[in-house]
Amino acid sequence: MRDINKKKDNDLMEKIVSLCKRRGFVFPGSEIYGGLGGTYDWGHFGVALKNNIKQNWWKKFVDSRKDMYGIDAAILMRQEVWQASGHVAGFADPVVECEKCKRRFRADQIEDKKKCVECDGKLGDLKQFNMMFATKVGASEDSSATSYLRPETAQGMFVNFKNTVDAFHPRLPFGMAQIGKAFRNEITPRDFIFRVREFEQMEIEYFIRSEDWEKYFEYWKGEMLNWMEEVGIDMAKVHELEVAPSDRAHYSKRTIDFEFDYPFGKKELFGLAYRTDSDLKNHKLEYVDEEEKEKIVPHVIEPTFGVDRAVLALLLSVYVEDEKDGEIRSYLKFKPSIAPVICAVSPLLKNKPELVEYANTKVYAPLKAEFGRVAWDDNGNIGKRYRKQDEIGTPFCIVVDFDTLKDDTVTVRDRDTGKQERVKVSELQNYIKEKI
């Protein structure tokens, strides 16, 4: 039974990876040169999906609140930032190397720590491998020019704490939010976009008084769960894991991982940490409360979300297969607000100029101007177009046919039910607005 399920799970991952490539969501990085492990390139629909996820997150956690300040800090920062934060000394994974084939493994991810799983060779001593990518800034080669590609967006917020306080004079509690790239030289990148070397994070550092940390920890736990549900992640597959003290990051006094049931196991999706006052203290920063006439070092609650893992969990949540007339159909049941394409417009036949003209000028152009995420699709027959749009996750397909020329109505097909209804062209924008 277990083997059958495992095969099913492997099949599901293969289907998702193949769909992502075939339909222009995600491609392997540097593919035409043999690929670069742990890197992926995002195609047109993948970018649209990520943008929708990020915009939705920003709208909820920044735009609709008055206690949150956005930032877009530089990826390269002085090495002192990473020395102070503890990353130079401690951002490392345990690694062992095979003395025969020279392959490296993460020691905490292999069962037999003595024998290589690839060639049976002897594994060497355990070493610590720092996961930050080092680089040089400027033309100088000496060590003072060393910088790192940031392994978390968080430090960009801590080092701008004073700038933000001076510019906006916020009162506690308040937060800073950032969306951006992070880089980790993972020893064993794996499972498609789950563990990669270049990824994106959406992070919040919420500054509080120390005595309030439990209250705000609970509050942010709720907010994180609400957001996951809002974007359409299958909540039955999300579990909370209280991270044991020995497994917590060096700065954390309490961490919850939100885990997801991926086909390859229950693993981390997002995290929530109580970072205490560790970071602000490390950077020698403080906060002056003008009203209370006191200086304090605020404590920090940190909700953190990986964009790539959000995409993977979402794809796995919305992938559906059904069967009609003996034919298997697969589709992505995205919410319209998250789908890369809201609707696709098609002339029934592409060699009929009167249909193409009508579809283009009276249907496609106004919808495109209103919603942006509108596709033009005149390839293949209608059945093929529907199958393609189903796989992209387009909620509505609109077809202009010969009746349209007589009565100004179009066919709107619903992705999930396959049902079609006639809608007046003048009503289309309202029809779609209501659905989203």
- Does 309 sit near ligand GAP (CB under 6 A)? yes
* Distance (Å, whole) CA 216 – CA 274: 9
Q: Does 199 bind ligand GAP (CB under 6 A)?
A: yes
- With CB under 6 A as the contact rule, the residue among 50, 87, 150, 195 that binds ligand GAP is 195
Say if residues 240 and 258 touch (Cβ distance below 8 Å).
yes
Query: Distances from the Cα of 220 to the Cαs of 178, 206, 249, 274, 420, in angstroms?
Result: 16, 9, 19, 11, 42
Among candidate residues 249, 253, 169, the one with its CA nearest the CA of residue 217: 253
Q: Residues 6 or more apart from 180 whose CB is under 8 A from it?
A: 72, 73, 75, 153, 156, 200, 201
- Residue 235 CB, shortest distance to ligand GAP, in Å, is 17
CB under 6 A: which stretch of 4-12, 13-21, 132-140, 192-200 binds ligand GAP?
A: 192-200
196 belongs to the binding site for ligand GAP (CB under 6 A): yes
Residues 161 and 147: their CA atoms lie apart, in Å, by 21
Structure tokens of 88?
A: 């130079």
304 binds ligand GAP (CB under 6 A): yes
Interface with ligand GAP includes 263 (CB under 6 A)? no
Place of tokens 């359409």: 232
If one asks whether residue 81 binds ligand GAP (CB under 6 A), the answer comes out as: no
As measured in angstroms, the least distance from the Cβ of 179 to ligand GAP is 12
Q: Cα(305)–Cα(147) distance, rounded to whole angstroms?
A: 25
Token pair 């549900």: residue: 229
Q: How far is the CB of 65 from ligand GAP (least distance, A)?
A: 20
Can you tell me which of 180, 232, 263, 271 binds ligand GAP, judged by CB under 6 A? Answer: 271
**CA Rg value for the chain:** 25
Using rule CB under 6 A, residue 191 touches ligand GAP: no
CA 331 to chain centre: 20
The residue range among 29-37, 267-275, 391-399, 407-415 that interacts with ligand GAP, by the rule CB under 6 A, is: 267-275
Mask 348-367, x = binds ligand GAP (CB under 6 A)? --------------------
Length of the chain: 436
| Smallest distance from ligand GAP to CB 339, Å | 22
CA torsion sign, 331 to 334 to 335 to 341?
negative
93 binds ligand GAP (CB under 6 A): no
| Max CA separation in the chain (angstroms) | 79
Per CB under 6 A, 186 contacts ligand GAP: yes
Contact status: 20 vs ligand GAP (CB under 6 A)? no
What is the total count of residues that contact ligand GAP (CB under 6 A)? 17
Residue whose Cβ sits closest to ligand GAP: 306
Residue 203 or 377 with smaller CB distance to ligand GAP: 203
Among 97, 203, 259, 377, binds ligand GAP (CB under 6 A): 203
Alpha-carbon span 338 to 88, nearest angstrom: 38
| 222/104 Cα distance (integer angstroms) | 39
CB nearer to ligand GAP: pick between 305 and 396: 305
What phi and psi values does residue 396 have, to the nearest 5 degrees? -130, 135
CB of 195 to ligand GAP, least distance (A): 5
Nearer to ligand GAP, 82 or 270 (CB): 270
Distance (Å, rounded) from C-alpha 425 to C-alpha 124?
A: 70
Interface segment toward ligand GAP; rule CB under 6 A; list 138-146, 266-274, 322-330, 340-348: 266-274
130 binds ligand GAP (CB under 6 A): no
Q: 3-class secondary structure for 339-397?
A: CCCCEEEEECCCCCHHHHHHHHHHHHHHHHHHHCCEEECCCCCHHHHHHHHHHHCCCEE
Q: Which stretch binds ligand GAP (CB under 6 A): 66-74, 122-130, 193-201, 379-387?
A: 193-201
Q: Which residues bind ligand GAP (CB under 6 A)?
A: 152, 154, 184, 186, 195-196, 199, 201, 203, 268, 270-271, 302, 304, 306, 308-309
